[in-house]
Amino acid sequence: MKAIKIINIFKAKENIPFMTCLITSMEENEKEINLTLENGENICIKDYGYYFLSEADGDLDREQMVNSYRRLISELGQMSEETITSLMP
């Protein structure tokens, strides 16, 4: 069984993550973090003090991302979406 971690990637100065990833491995050095996603793809985060990643064209808009994030946390935490909504800033 693989160890899978869930991480959230935030844009600078925003409180809501724009990406939630399931990762199987993480390698960190002084310049960057290399993440291997569950599907086998890799992401390299260079300025990991802020976790900058570019958004691709066609990404979900902010409200859809927030709703997707609430559903994900609801499913993983066995909590209702209403409870999750009440806990978010």
For the chain, give the percent of residues with pLDDT over 70: 46
pTM of the model: 0.42
**What mean pLDDT, rounded, does the chain reach?**
67
Per-residue pLDDT of 41-56, as tens digits, reads 888 877 655 443 334 4
DSSP letters of 1-49?
A: ----EEEEE--TT-SS-SEEEEEEEEEE-SS-EEEEETTS-EEEESSTT
Task: Please write the tens of the pLDDT for every residue from 52-76.
Answer: 333 444 454 566 666 666 666 666 5
Give residue 86's pLDDT band: very low, low, confident or very high (50, 70, 90): confident
